[in-house]
Structure 1
Amino acid sequence: MDNQAQTLTQHLRATIWARCLTAAQMVRVEAETFEQFVPKGGFVCRKGEPMESWTGIIDGLVKMNNFSPAGKSVTFTGVPAGGWFGEGSLLKDDRRKYDVIALRDTRVAQMPRATFEWLLETSLPFTRFLLMQLNERLGQFIGLVETDRLLNVDTRVARCLASMFNSHLYPGVEKVVQISQEEIGYLSGASRQRANQALQLLEKEGLVRIDYGGIRVLDVDGLRQFET
């Protein structure tokens, strides 16, 4: 189903973690989780805010971002439709360590802290899901550190696209990634022009095809292994 056509309830029922909940637990989740609209460039949440909810992307794309004391912008990762984030800070009862900014108009699901904590207390399968989520997230960020420190722009763009194909973190992503070259630049730390050059190289290598309004990924494993 097109994410844009999904209601909040349909989105919640399509998540991986919903499959492990009882009918009664799902009723409470659906009753207490609410939807928020964030326009392009708007903040889903800000660094330093108290953690009040677990957040999922119904439709759109966001970036986890921070600024250095000198004002330099650092993007950690992007979260496309189907992804949920913020569980680490909720578990630590910590304030947010980063800004989350919408790269396009975005629909967000917000599960209140009380609901999240209640699921932890009443659903062992949900707790197991979160352990897997945290493990996948750790692996993702280790890979991002390596990519940022050791690899050039072409390889960073390839890994950026490949990172969106994680069936646990981002189950909603399809082979055609609805992402612009400007957005890829934001997520890979490159200018729009440089990201475009990298995409053209990846297209010549047979790994992607540049379509109108998005990127068709032809070889995910090839993107993960690509280096120049």
Structure 2
Amino acid sequence: MERELDAGEYVARVGDPSAHWYGVMRGHLQMYVVTPEGNETTLYYLREGEWCGDGSLLKGELLQYDLRTLTTVHLCLVTAQTFNVLRNSSLEFSNFLCDVMNARMGVFVGMLAASRLLGPEGRVAKALLMLTKDRLEDTQRLSIHQHDLALICGLSRQRVNMALSFFKQNGIVHTDGPKGYLIVHTRRLSNYIGDL
């Protein structure tokens, strides 16, 4: 199935049965958790071409996170039954699924290492690189709010703003347009990460 959703809509909520495998055809999707006290953090930020929900489907458990749109999103929803038929009958599908999960795990490990080893600027830089589609492009335009970027980094919005100011002063990012889209100079950001 395919669905179109506006920014800020919930696709699935924590505690929901695992009914679908979700693919982002266009837009950006956020996997995040909120504590009973209202503290929240982003687990992963899905871009066009990425998938999620596989872990819960494989374990047959309820969802452990909320899934919310950050932009207008065009989603592909594969039912649990179809997902399991493909996984059990297609080596190509199983290999693709393994690649999807391995790529996401690589990002998780990178963000965990950044949160423990890097200062705020390094953590924001790692998050920005995670959000870019293609590191070979010289510049990329991101439509993400500072609040959402802060949730990815595990930092306050104010601290993320300070890091972005540092990157702007050094020609690594700049804002564009009335909505303040963030333009990331991908190669410069990669070089900055490499220098840490």
TM-score bin, normalised by smaller chain? 0.7 to 0.9
Q: Which letter does structure 1 place at the counterpart of 2:56?
A: S
Other-structure match for 2:166? 201
Q: Which letter does structure 2 place at the counterpart of 1:179?
A: S
- Contact residue 181 and residue 192 of structure 1 kept, 8 A: no
1:7-22 mapped onto 2 (5 Å cutoff): none
- Contact residue 162 and residue 224 of structure 1 kept, 8 A: no
CA offsets 1:17-66 (integer angstroms, 9 cap, x no match)? xxxxxxxxxxxxxxxxx122333222111111111111011222221111
Work out whether 1:177 is the aligned partner of 2:141. yes
1:84 is matched with which residue: 44, 51, 63? 51
Alpha-carbon distance in 2 for matches of 1:192, 1:77: 18
- Contact residue 32 and residue 66 of structure 2 kept, 8 A: yes
Alpha-carbon distance in 2 for matches of 1:81, 1:107: 9
Structure 1 93/224 Cα, relative in aligned 2: closer, same or farther at 3 Å? farther
1:44-193 mapped onto 2 (5 Å cutoff): 44-165=11-132, 175-182=139-146, 183-193=148-158
Q: SS in structure 2 opposite 1:111?
A: strand
CA offsets 1:61-85 (integer angstroms, 9 cap, x no match)? 2211112243211211211222111
Other-structure match for 1:218? 186
Q: SS in structure 1 opposite 2:38?
A: coil
User: Unpaired segments of 5 or more residues in structure 1?
Assistant: 1-33
Alpha-carbon distance in 2 for matches of 1:127, 1:161: 30
CA offsets 1:180-210 (integer angstroms, 9 cap, x no match)? 3424234323444433332232244443343
User: Unpaired segments of 5 or more residues in structure 2?
Assistant: none
- Contact residue 161 and residue 223 of structure 1 kept, 8 A: no
Aligned residues: 190
Alpha-carbon distance in 2 for matches of 1:217, 1:111: 35
Tell me the C-alpha RMSD between the 2 structures. Answer: 2.6
Calculate the TM-score normalised by the size of structure 2: 0.82
Structure 1 180/69 Cα, relative in aligned 2: closer, same or farther at 3 Å? closer
Alpha-carbon distance in 2 for matches of 1:149, 1:105: 33
Q: SS in structure 1 opposite 2:7?
A: coil
Q: Which letter does structure 2 place at the counterpart of 1:176?
A: Q
Alpha-carbon distance in 2 for matches of 1:78, 1:174: 21
- Contact residue 55 and residue 110 of structure 1 kept, 8 A: yes
Q: Calculate percent identity across the aligned residue pairs.
A: 29
Alpha-carbon distance in 2 for matches of 1:126, 1:162: 28
